[in-house]
Amino acid sequence: MTDEEQIVQVFRDFEDGGLVSKDIGKVLRCVAGSVIGIGIGEQGFVNSRDQIREIFEKGLREADTAVYSLDYDNMEVLVHQGRFANACGAISIRREENGSVMTSRLLQTLVFIKEDGEWKICGLHASAPIATEENMEAYPLKIAEKLLCSLREEIGEKAFLAEEQFQKAVLADTIAFYIINFTKNCFEKCQVNEELCAYVEPGTPFEKFVQDNIYNYVIDKDCPAFLNRLSLENIREAIRKNEKEISCEYRLQRPDGKAFWAVTVIRLITDGVTGDSKGIMYVKDIDKQKRREMEMRSRAERDDMTSFYKKAAFVACVEKLQEGQEKGQGAFFMLDIDNFKAINDTWGHPFGDHILVAVADIIKDVFGENGVCGRLGGDEFGVFVTGRSAKELEKKEAAELMERLGQIRTPEQTSFPVSCSIGIADAPCGCSFELLYRQADQALYRSKQKGKRRCTVFT
């Protein structure tokens, strides 16, 4: 093997003996007779093989049944005059126990000397793992815990800054980045695009800042959901449940007044040094992704021909409206085109499709935004309206529909007489959709029995 390969092998044997196989003999075989200094955490540097043995035996976790493994990357070796060498590399420690996996990452810098033709370690420095509970638990020696506790202020701040820098690198495309101490209810760090999100001074209370600024940035319609989801009470509840993150999607306003979809994500962490519950909060522009999702959902929920809800989506929408209808009246409106099979058979399906689209356009125009419209199957349509009674719909909307359907024009711009049969049922609070559908269907059937081209209210 080359000198570089031998050095890498000694490095790996040393790390394996200390962190995985926990074999002190293997560790000592990698160490030179003369030790400059090997960092072992709280005790500083040791400078003899006997001290290494003593610290190693004291540092092992008791009753540790976990399985450890190591991964190496970025290994670099520089040999000087064939007798001295420097090496550095990153090591990922993987700890598996009872199906749970934790990882920790260390950066090692070593000095080697050649003794009797073999490379040995005479100096080593290892950077501390980031100060999180997971990282400390993933490390198989108690040394890591002692190191973090003994250097509370300096290492705690550096460890947290390392976490912050990591997040900034990962979240480089975000429009806002905050660090919040939820134990103390205050912001600690802030980096934002001030055209889209509000800047906050360190020490500002979290919830007060959100309430004071939200209406300047989030569209009014989405503010209540945002305030509820990301309230301090909800966040602290998530922390109590050991949840890792909490998020909320909403629409932000651009400087030109246009709205775009954004998401606020708060990654919940515990500062391993201070014990405070903290959050790394970032705001991200998800407009393109959200609109693609909405388009896909719309395709799944909407009828391609009429753009009305398909039956399953219509039922779900109506049931949701009924849940929020604590008081007041509503009505369920059903429409069926008279003699539609004959229209298809006589004039062809493309002509029948034209009639369906024309009928749907009239329904949308008559009900506007006041009704939820669905295509229930074939030529059968449904509309659910809140705040109105069946009798009111019969007098106004049903009458207008009857009149306008008779004015539908064909692709050749000639009039074509279309009529429909309508059934309407009142929808009191607590009434199931199944019952509504059955009642409106019975009323529509009576309209058919009476000669079609009419509206019947279920009684």
CA–CA separation, 270 and 134 (whole Å): 10
**Range(s) of the chain covered by CATH 3.30.70.270:** 302-457
Tokens 């029948």 found at: 352
Would you state the pLDDT for residue 149? 47
For 54-101, write each residue's pLDDT tens digit: 877 766 555 567 787 888 877 889 998 889 999 988 888 887 877 777
Backbone angles phi, psi at 17, to 5 degrees: -65, -35
According to DSSP, the residues that pair with 441 across neighbouring strands are none
> Does the domain formed by 3-150 have CATH 3.10.450.50?
yes
Question: What's the chain look like in SS3?
Answer: CCHHHHHHHHHHHHHHHHHHCCCHHHHHHCECCCCCEEECCCCCEECCHHHHHHHHHHHECCCCCCEEEEEEEEEEEEEECCCEEEEEEEEEEEEEECCEEEEEEEEEEEEEEEECCEEEEEEEEECCCCCCHHHHHHCCECHHHHHHHHCHHHHHHHHHHHHHHHHHHHCCCCCEEEEEECCCCEEEEEEECCCCCCCCCCCCCHHHHHHHHHHHHECHHHHHHHHHHCCHHHHHHHHHCCCCEEEEEEEEECCCCCEEEEEEEEEEEECCCCCCEEEEEEEEECHHHHHHHHHHHHHHHECCCCCCEEHHHHHHHHHHHHHCCCCCCEEEEEEEECCHHHHHHHHCHHHHHHHHHHHHHHHHHHHHHHEEEEEEECCEEEEEEECCCHHHHHHHHHHHHHHHHCCCECCCCCECCCCEEEEEEECCCCCCHHHHHHHHHHHHHHHHHCCCCEEEECC
Q: Quickly name the fold that domain 163-290 has.
A: Beta-Lactamase (3.30.450)
CA–CA separation, 325 and 307 (whole Å): 25
Identity at 237, one-letter amino acid code: E
**Range(s) of the chain covered by CATH 3.30.450.20:** 163-290
CA–CA separation, 253 and 251 (whole Å): 7
CA–CA separation, 66 and 60 (whole Å): 12
> Is the distance from CB of 254 to CB of 271 less than 8 angstroms?
no
**Range(s) of the chain covered by CATH 3.10.450.50:** 3-150
Q: Is 364 exposed, middle or buried (0-12, 13-18, 19+ CB in 10 A)?
A: middle
CA–CA separation, 400 and 392 (whole Å): 12
Q: What is the CA radius of gyration of the chain?
A: 35
Helices 311-323 and 433-449 pack at an angle, to 10 degrees, of: 120
Task: Determine how many CB atoms are found less than 10 A away from the CB of residue 51.
Answer: 15
Would you state the pLDDT for residue 63? 55
For 148-177, write each residue's pLDDT tens digit: 444 444 445 555 555 555 555 445 567 888
According to DSSP, the residues that pair with 278 across neighbouring strands are 181, 269
Strand order in the sheet with 186-192: 186-192, 176-181, 277-285, 259-270, 245-253
Residues of the chain with pLDDT under 70: 40-45, 58-64, 127-173, 272-273, 324-328, 413
Four-CA torsion 18, 55, 151, 243, nearest 10 degrees: 50
> Is the distance from CB of 48 to CB of 28 less than 8 angstroms?
no
Would you state the pLDDT for residue 173? 65
Per-residue CA distances from 167 to 22, 89, 130, 415 (Å): 33, 22, 13, 65
| Whether the predicted model's global pTM rises above the 0.75 cut | no
Q: Which two tokens stand for residue 356?
A: 């369906």
Four-CA torsion 402, 405, 340, 441, nearest 10 degrees: -30
Would you state the pLDDT for residue 298? 72
Strands 37-39, 118-126: pairing is: parallel
Q: Quickly name the fold that domain 302-457 has.
A: Alpha-Beta Plaits (3.30.70)
According to DSSP, the residues that pair with 86 across neighbouring strands are 78, 111
Q: Give the rounded distance of the alpha carbon of 57 from its chain centre.
A: 44
Would you state the pLDDT for residue 292? 86
Would you state the pLDDT for residue 40? 54
Tokens 């050649």 found at: 114
Per-residue CA distances from 216 to 102, 189, 208, 345, 451 (Å): 42, 21, 14, 58, 58
For 171-201, write each residue's pLDDT tens digit: 556 788 899 999 999 999 888 887 888 899 9
Task: Measure the N-to-C terminal CA separation of the chain; round to a whole number of Å.
Answer: 95
Q: Which two tokens stand for residue 9?
A: 């092998």
